[in-house]
Amino acid sequence: MKKLILLAVFALASVQSWAADTIKVGLLVEMTGTFADFGLQITNGAKAYMKQHGDTVAGKKIELIIKDTTGPAPDVAKRLAQELVVKDKVDFLAGFGLTPNALAVAPIATEAKIPTIIMNAATSVITAKSPYIVRTSFTLAQVTEPMAQWAYRNGVRKVFTVVADYGPGHDAEDTFKKAFTKMGGQVVGELRVPLTNPEFGPFVQRVKDGKPEAVFVFVPAGEMAVGFMKAYNERGLAKAGIKLLSTGDVTEDGVIEALGDNALGVISTHQYSAAHVSPENKAFLAAYSQIDPKTRPNFMAVGAYDGMAAIYEVVRQLKGNIDGDKAMQVLKGMKLLSPRGPIQIDPETRDIVQNVYVREVKKVNGKLYNVEFETINAVKDPGK
C-alpha cells in the first residue's frame, strides 16, 4: 500500500513537471539598427511590469524570451516566431514595434493558436489578420481623427500631410483627410516619405512651397521623428507661419529632449505622455527607472507594460494552464487601469479602446514634455 501511494506521488510529480512551471512569453522586437529604440522601450516596459509585480503568477514563473527582428524585416520576424513556437514552445507571442513584423506573424498565431499581444505596431488591419491577436498599444486612425478635429475647431483650414510610406502612414493620411475634409477643411498636398533612410529636406521644402496653414505629420518614433523636426527647423517652416500638428510619435518622450526648444508649442494627439498625472503613471515611472534610469519611457514602454498586465491576468484567470482559445476569451473585454488612463480590449475587434489626449510641448521643471490639455474619452479604432 505504502509503495502504491509513493508511486502515485511520483506520477503526480512527473505530470506537474511535464506541465512546466514556466510560462514563456516570446518577445519579438527591434533590438538593433535604426529602430533599436523600439526594442529597448518595449523590453524595458515589460521588465518594469515584472519588477513591480514579481515574476510568479498562479505558481508559474513568467519568462521572457527576447528575439531581435533587426528592423522592418517580415521574413526574420516570421522565422523567429516559428522558432519560438516550435522550439521554445512559448505560451504567448508579444512585442512588435513595427507593422510589417506583426503582419508577418499573424498566420503563425492563427495556425499555432498562440495568443499574440501587439505592444506597439499601429496599423488598423493588424488585429483583423488573426483571431489570436490583441493590441495594447493604439492605432494611427484612433489618434489621428482627434487631431484633424482639433485643428479644424481651432481655425486651421489648409493642411499639407506628410506620412511614412507604409501601413500606419497610409492609415494616418486617410484618416486625417477624411475627418478634416468632412468638417470643411482642405488638404492642399500629400507626401509619403520612405520608411528607411529618408532625406527629409526636399520633402519639407515642398510643404513650405505649398503654403499651407499647418503640416500634419506621422513618422515612426525615434530617429525619423528627430530627422523630420531637424528639416522643419532648417527649412524655416515655423518662421513661415506653418504650424506643426503631429501624432505623438513625433514628439514622443524618448526623443523629445533631442528635438530641443524648437519643439516648444508643437501640438500632438496620443494616448500616453510621461507627464500624465495619475498614481498609476507615478508607479510606472518609478518601476521603469529601476530597470533603466537613463531613458525616459515612451508610449511603446507603456504598450509593453500593459501587455504584460494582460498576460498576467490571463495566467491568473486560467490558473497557469494556458490554452489559446481560453486565453482569448479572457482577453476579450479585459479592462485595465494603465499609466495612460483606463483601457479596454474591444471584445469584437480585440483592439484597444482608450482616451486620446491633445497635448502641447512645454517645459516642466526645465525639461520638455507633452502637456495634456484636452481629453477625448474612450476612443475606439475608427479604422475598423
Residues engaged in binding ligand DHB (CB under 6 A): 97-99, 121-123, 168, 220-221, 249
Q: What phi, psi does 123 have (nearest 5°)?
A: -80, 135
Cβ 34 to ligand DHB shortest distance, Å: 11
- CA 21 to each of CA 13, 86, 235, 360: distance values in angstroms, whole numbers, following the listed order: 12, 18, 58, 47
Cβ contacts of 213 within 8 Å, gap of 6 or more? 156, 157, 158, 159, 241, 242, 243
Nearest to 57 by CA among 354, 321, 338: 321
- Half-sphere exposure at residue 272, Cβ-oriented, CA atoms within 13 angstroms: 32
Cβ 255 to ligand DHB shortest distance, Å: 10
- Residue closer to ligand DHB (CB basis): 121 or 191: 121
Cβ 123 to ligand DHB shortest distance, Å: 5
Cβ 44 to ligand DHB shortest distance, Å: 16
Residue with CB nearest ligand DHB? 220
Nearest to 37 by CA among 301, 256, 307, 370: 301
DSSP string, 156-211: --EEEEEEESSHHHHHHHHHHHHHHHHHT-EEEEEEEE-SSS--HHHHHHHHHHT-
- Residue closer to ligand DHB (CB basis): 93 or 122: 122
Nearest to 141 by CA among 132, 128, 153, 131: 128
- Residue closer to ligand DHB (CB basis): 168 or 297: 168
- Residue closer to ligand DHB (CB basis): 122 or 141: 122
- Residue closer to ligand DHB (CB basis): 39 or 97: 97
- Residue closer to ligand DHB (CB basis): 213 or 249: 249
- Residue closer to ligand DHB (CB basis): 57 or 73: 73
Q: Are 129 and 64 in contact (CB under 8 A)?
A: no
Cβ 121 to ligand DHB shortest distance, Å: 4
- Residue closer to ligand DHB (CB basis): 36 or 122: 122
Cβ-count burial 302-330 (b if 16+ within 10 Å, e if not): bbbbbbbbbbbbbbeebebebebeebbeb
Cβ 120 to ligand DHB shortest distance, Å: 6
The helix, strand and coil proportions of the chain, stated in percent and rounded to the nearest 5, come to 45, 25, 30
Cβ 303 to ligand DHB shortest distance, Å: 10
- Residue closer to ligand DHB (CB basis): 212 or 220: 220
- Residue closer to ligand DHB (CB basis): 121 or 327: 121
Cβ 269 to ligand DHB shortest distance, Å: 12
Give the helix ranges, DSSP H, for the chain: 2-18, 36-53, 74-86, 99-112, 140-153, 167-183, 200-209, 223-234, 256-259, 279-291, 299-317, 324-331
- CA 297 to each of CA 22, 165, 255, 348: distance values in angstroms, whole numbers, following the listed order: 28, 26, 10, 30
Cβ 88 to ligand DHB shortest distance, Å: 25
Cβ 200 to ligand DHB shortest distance, Å: 16
The label of the residue with cell 513556437 reads: 85
CA atoms of 66 and 309, how far apart (whole Å): 18
The label of the residue with cell 506573424 reads: 105
